[in-house]
Structure formats: structure tokens, C-alpha cells
């Protein structure tokens, strides 16, 4: 980004260029730059199928929640390009720190689909990742996991390991102190950390302009002397190339990167939210279908390359729906959780009042069984 230098203070001041973002694929499916040697046809098809998988999964979860078969659920429709494109760019050994809305990215990075179902059913085993992966449980407290991502990255650097840590978060997290502490620490120690912000415009119901006077999130990287970049988060090609570059920079010892992925949350913050209370859903729906849908954008490119058809799409959907149904059945038939597990992994030594609550619940459960 171009910077102006204030002659008196000699400090870099962001210009209006910060409002622009990096884009590779237009809304009409046309390429702004050559991707030859960077993204081949096979990878583009993989991107599309992965985005289709997680969208079908997302819609399935919303239906299940409405049926009372899942708990409160956080939809991500509209953010598929940001999540899928970023996760594909990571290596299997990289550390992965998701929020409660990043299950699409987690699945692409290797999390079992049935465990994501378990998580939204309130089962503690829903947070377990495969042994060969480094996927942390979804972080519900806002921005706290960003510090953990910096810590693992620093440890990897000290141990001479060739991996990085990816922290996902939303625009609301950038109003938390943990966000600034994480960027500051990462900047000082040049940790191989990637801060991936999905700016979907709202922190629940609060629009970004009411959260911050800064025009963008990416420009905040200047304060910590780290690289900051703003990208079109509905353009999966731009997301992939940006994260891949950030990973390579991190592994070369060039420090962290703050990525502001400007994306869009089509639906509610959670299934307990009503977005019609704070925005015009009808107008948003029209714009969504015409311009913002990340799947449609990539589909147009695939059509131009003559590798997509209605028949292929139906075949993909059938196969993916079968995969989703199989994962859900596995979750449904998984051993039921015990309510007493809520007392585990909180205190090393339980205080008296927690022990009292635990004993009361145990007595109630035994009485209910008898």
C-alpha cells in the first residue's frame, strides 16, 4: 500500500488506498490477472466442490436447528470463499485457531464432519480433532484465541519448526484488547502468525462503522509494523493466493500478516438472531444473488473454462449430501454425553461451591435414572 509520510512526525499515515482491496476474480467470473502456474484447473474444481460441501452442510444445520435436533447454530453462508480459500492454502502441520463460525474452514483443514455436528449438539467430543491435526476447539470468547495462536507460533519458531499459526476472527474481535495485544506481541517477536479477519460488516447487529473510526482493519497493521492487506473475501482465488503468500513469508522468518477479508454474512449472526431488526434483508438478498455469492462467481469462471455443467453440479450435490447425511447419522448414533462432563477441565482443584453443584446434579441424574 502507498503511504504518505507526515514531514513533522515522520510516521506512516494510510491514504485512501487502504479502502481498495486485492481482487483476482471479478463478479462476472473474469480474471484481473494471470493465475497460470499458481492455481490450476484441478485446484479450482477442488475449491468449488469444497465450497459447495460446506454450503450444503450449513443449510442442513440450520434446518436441523429449526427441528430441535441441534442447538443454537452460527451460520456462515456468504463466507465460503474466505474460509475454504484460506484453509486450502495451509499445510497439514499448521496450527489452526477457529471461532464458533469457522467450521467450514476447520472441515477443509481436516476436522471430521460428524464432530462438527457433535459440537453443535453440545457434545464435548465435538471439539476433538484427528491425531495428526492441530485444530483447536472453536473459540466462543471473542479474540482470546488470538493470543494462543501467537504463543504456538512463537514456540514453533523457537523450536525451529516449519509451520505457522492461523487465527480466524471477525470484525467485532478487532475492538477487543486481545486483538491489539496479539498483534503487538507477534510484531515484536516476528512470530509466524497469520491473523485472518473475516469482515462481514456486522458484530452481531453492530455495523463496522459504529465500532471503529478507522476506515479499514488492515491499516491497523501499521501500528505494529507488520504486513497488512485488504482483500475481496468473496473471491476465493484472491483469498488463496494471499494466505499462501502470508504462509511463505512466515516460513521465511518475515513475521506475521494481518489479512482483512472483506466478505458477507448472508444470514443471521446465529439462529437466535433476527437480522431484519438491523438491516434490509430484502435489498441484501437481491445484491447477494447478483454480485456477492462466492460460489456463483467461481462457477462463472468454470463455465468459461467449459468444466462445469448442470449435470456435474447435480452429481456433486448428490454425493455431498450423502456424505453429510452419513456424518449426521454417525453423530446421532455417537454415545450420548453426560451432563456431569461440564465440570471437567475447568478447575484443577474444584472450589466447594462447584463440588456442591456437581453433587446435586449427580444426585438428580441418578434419581432420574431410577
Residues annotated as part of the active site = 265, 269, 278
* Residue 138 three-state SS: coil
User: Nearest CA to 148 among 136, 160, 158?
Assistant: 136
End-to-end Cα distance, the chain: 68
Contact partners, residue 114, CB within 8 Å, separation at least 6: 327, 328, 330, 331, 334
Task: Report the alpha-carbon distance of residue 136 to residue 315 in Å, rounded.
Answer: 33
Query: What angle separates helix 310-332 from helix 113-120, to the nearest 10 degrees?
Result: 60
Task: Report the alpha-carbon distance of residue 359 to residue 122 in Å, rounded.
Answer: 21
> DSSP alpha helices (H): ranges in 160-218?
177-189
* Residue 95 three-state SS: strand
Q: What are phi and psi of 234, to 5 degrees?
A: -95, 0
The vertex-191 CA angle with 256 and 116, nearest 5°, equals 80
Task: Report the alpha-carbon distance of residue 185 to residue 168 in Å, rounded.
Answer: 17
> DSSP alpha helices (H): ranges in the chain?
41-66, 80-88, 103-109, 113-120, 144-159, 177-189, 236-251, 281-287, 294-304, 310-332, 352-369
* Residue 126 three-state SS: helix
Amino acid at each position: 500500500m502507498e503511504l504518505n509520510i507526515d514531514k513533522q512526525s515522520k510516521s506512516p499515515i494510510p491514504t485512501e488506498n487502504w479502502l481498495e482491496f486485492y481482487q483476482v476474480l471479478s463478479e462476472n467470473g473474469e480474471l484481473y490477472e494471470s493465475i497460470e502456474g499458481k492455481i490450476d484447473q484441478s485446484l479450482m474444481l477442488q475449491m468449488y466442490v469444497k465450497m459447495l460441501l460446506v454450503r450444503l452442510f450449513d443449510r442442513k444445520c440450520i434446518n436441523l436447528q429449526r427441528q430441535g435436533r441441534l442447538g443454537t447454530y452460527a451460520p456462515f453462508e456468504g463466507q465460503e470463499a474466505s474460509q475454504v480459500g484460506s484453509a486450502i492454502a495451509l499445510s497439514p502441520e499448521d496450527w489452526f485457531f477457529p471461532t464458533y463460525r469457522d467450521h467450514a474452514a476447520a472441515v477443509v483443514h481436516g476436522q471430521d464432519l460428524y464432530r462438527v455436528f457433535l459440537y453443535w449438539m453440545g457434545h464435548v467430543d465435538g471439539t476433538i480433532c484427528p491425531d495428526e491435526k492441530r485444530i483447536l476447539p472453536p473459540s466462543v470468547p471473542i479474540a482470546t484465541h488470538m493470543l494462543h495462536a501467537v504463543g504456538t507460533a512463537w514456540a514453533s519458531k523457537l523450536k525451529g519448526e516449519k509451520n505457522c499459526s492461523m487465527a480466524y476472527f471477525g470484525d467485532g474481535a478487532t475492538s477487543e484488547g486481545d486483538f491489539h495485544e496479539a498483534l503487538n506481541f507477534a510484531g515484536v517477536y516476528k512470530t509466524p502468525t497469520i491473523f485472518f479477519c473475516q469482515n462481514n460488516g456486522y458484530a452481531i447487529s453492530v455495523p463496522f462503522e459504529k465500532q471503529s473510526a478507522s476506515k479499514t482493519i488492515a491499516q491497523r497493521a501499521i501500528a505494529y509494523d507488520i504486513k497488512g492487506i485488504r482483500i475481496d473475501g468473496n473471491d476465493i482465488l484472491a483469498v488463496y493466493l494471499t494466505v499462501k503468500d502470508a504462509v511463505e513469508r512466515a516460513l521465511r522468518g518475515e513475521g506475521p500478516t494481518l489479512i482483512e477479508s472483506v466478505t458477507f454474512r448472508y444470514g443471521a449472526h446465529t439462529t437466535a438472531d433476527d437480522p431484519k431488526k438491523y438491516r434490509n434483508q430484502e435489498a441484501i438478498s437481491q445484491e447477494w444473488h447478483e454480485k456477492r455469492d462466492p460460489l456463483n462467481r467461481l462457477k462463472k469462471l468454470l463455465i468459461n473454462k467449459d468444466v462445469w455443467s448442470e449435470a456435474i453440479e447435480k452429481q456433486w450435490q448428490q454425493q455431498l449430501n450423502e456424505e453429510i447425511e452419513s456424518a449426521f447419522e454417525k453423530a446421532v448414533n455417537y454415545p450420548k454425553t453426560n451432563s456431569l462432563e461440564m465440570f471437567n477441565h475447568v478447575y484443577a482443584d474444584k472450589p466447594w461451591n462447584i463440588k456442591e453443584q456437581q453433587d446435586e446434579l449427580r444426585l438428580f441424574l441418578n434419581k432420574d435414572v431410577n
